[in-house]
Every structure is written in structure tokens, then in C-alpha cells.
Amino acid sequence: MQRIVKALAGLLLVGAVSSAQAQTYPDRPIRLIVSIAAGSVTDVIARKAAAELQGRLGQPLIIENRGGAAGILGAQTCAQATPDGYTLCVIYHSTMSYNPLLFDKLPYAPEDLAPVTRLFFLTEGLFVSTEVGINSVAELKKYAQAKPDGLNYATLGDGSFPDLFMRWLNGQWGTKIVGVPYKGGGPAAQALAANQVQVTRFGVGNFMGLIQAGKVKALAVSADKRSPLLPDVPTFKEAGLGDYPGQGWWGLAAPKGTPAPIVEKVAAEFGRLFKDPEFNKFLDQQSVVASPTTPAGFAAFLVEDRKAAETLIKIANSKKETYKAE
């Protein structure tokens, strides 16, 4: 009985300490790890959110970019951080759903990260360099089939969402489009504009300036309806790519063991920001759709997203590989 009483007392003490921490949190700057290169759409959004939240939280959020390896580097850094609320991590579909199914010997497990909130869904596009002279998905298919080794494709590394789409496309079309890894949508977009790669799929926001400059052409967008930013560009379904089951998203996590009251507080503050009408005007220009959740809601979403990942990996005929650090 005494052991039970002591255990209960210990739990109550931990709860009281956690609640007290949440009341004073944050009392110093917060490290915000972003699992993609600087200049990418998600990085731009994270920096804007950090600037807005500094006034609400009373402390700065310091961005630390850890791009590359399909989000593995960022996830590893996050999982190894002290779980005190002063490290937060911007994660995405590869981090939690795809990497564990595609790689053995990952330096982290999804369970090492505590879900905080989903932030937004991406509107992605299929893009080509204007130098290849392709104007539609049908023309891209014809070109790729006529020149099986003639196209390079920008990815975020093996097993990343762009990589899986390329594998799926090669399987559907019987082509051999070659993947080239980059650390984010920004670098990938610049490579496409320079014709170092000829085709890719990333968030639309990475490419708007290059489209307007005539260096990149959008062939299709991954939304249910046409993007107001690209009203003349067909949806994937209209372009004949409607069978692809994946959907890109980004969210926020913390190292496992971060006190629940702090997780709830952070989720609430990010949630209020991502529901704010003025902030949503900014998100519209980045071609993303805000979708904040509670920590429990995000955890439930991740269960379903893992099931979708299993389906996609099976369709793409992707085999599990041993992860090798860069």
C-alpha cells in the first residue's frame, strides 16, 4: 500500500511540476528545427509563423534548417533533443509515415517524436523546365517513353514524397526517369530552372516566381480543383494522374517526453495562428491549406496517414532499404 501511495504521490508531483512549467513557459528562446532547406515554401511559412508567435509567446523562435535525406536528419536531431519544450520540430509525411516503411536502421523512430499539431496540407504541382519544350502531361509521357534515360527528376532523397511519385510514374508509364536528390523545394526549383533536372513534383509556392519568369512550366496541380494561383493549369485528375493516392502535409512535433501541458500550450498557440484570417491570406499565397489540430487529433491523423503510405509504397513497388547516413 505504501508503494502505491508513494507512486501516486510521485505522479501528482510530476503533474504539478509540469503544470507549473507550462505556466511559466517559455522563459527563453525556442529552437525550431525545420526539416528542409532554407528558402523552401515550408521554411518561408515557418519563419513567418515564428515572427508572429514571438509576440504571442514572449520569446523568439530560432529557426534551424536540417534539410536532406527525406526529413531524416531533422527527425534525428529532434529525437535527440532535451524534451523540455525548448526544441520544436517541423515535420512532414516522410518523417512519420514513409521513412519507417522504406528504411531499416533509421536513426530515429516515429515514437521518439510527440505529435503537437498538423499545420497544413500542400498544393503540389508537376513542373518541367521550359527548355525541354513540354506543355502537357501527355507530352511529358510521350517524351519520357521515347527517351527512357533522357529525363532527370528532383527529389528530396530516396523514399521522399517526390521520389515515390517518380517511382510510381515510371511504373505507370514504363519509363526510367532518374531521381536527383536536393535538400528542399527551393534548391530543386532553381535546379529545374537551370535545366539541371527537367521535371519534378513539389509545393506550388516554390515555383511561382520562376513560372512568372518563364523558366518553369506547371503541367498539373494536386488539388481537387484548380489553384487560383494557376487557373489555367489542370488538376492531376484532369491531366490523367488521378490514381496517385498520396497527399503532402506538414506538422509540428516535439521530442518524446516533452511535458503534456507544454505540448498543449504550443498546439493552442500554433492553432490560433493558423486559423487567423490574415495569416491565412499569407498561406493562400504559398498555395497551402491550413489544417491545425489538437495533439490527439494529429496523433489520430498519423495512424491513418501511415495506412495511406503503405498503400502508396505497394503501388510504387518500393523495397525497404538500409538507411545510410549522408
Q: How do residues 173-208 score in pLDDT, each as one tens digit? A: 999 999 999 988 999 999 999 999 999 999 998 999
Q: Are strands 87-92 and 249-255 parallel, antiparallel or unpaired?
A: antiparallel
Distance CA 40, CA 93 (A): 16
CATH number of the domain enclosing 282:
3.40.190.150
Q: How many CA atoms lie within 13 A of 85 on its CB side?
A: 21
Q: Is residue 8 part of a domain?
A: yes
Indicate whether 14 and 85 sit together in one domain. yes
| pTM tops 0.85, yes or no | no
8 Å CB contact between 93 and 246: yes
Backbone angles phi, psi at 26, to 5 degrees: -95, 150
Indicate whether 178 and 94 sit together in one domain. no
Q: Is the pLDDT of residue 9 over 60?
A: no
Q: Which domain holds residue 163?
A: 124-221
Indicate whether 286 and 152 sit together in one domain. no
For the chain, what is the domain count? 2
Indicate whether 117 and 157 sit together in one domain. no
Q: Is residue 232 part of a domain?
A: no
Q: Is residue 63 part of a domain?
A: yes
Indicate whether 212 and 277 sit together in one domain. no
Indicate whether 23 and 118 sit together in one domain. yes
DSSP lists the bridge partners of residue 178 as 152
Q: How do residues 20-73 score in pLDDT, each as one tens digit? A: 667 899 999 999 999 999 999 999 999 999 999 999 999 999 999 999 888 999
SS3 at position 156:
coil
- Of 96-105, 291-300, 309-318, the one with minimum mean pLDDT is 309-318
Q: Which stretch of DSSP H or E encloses residue 270?
A: helix 260-275
Q: How many residues appear in the chain?
A: 326
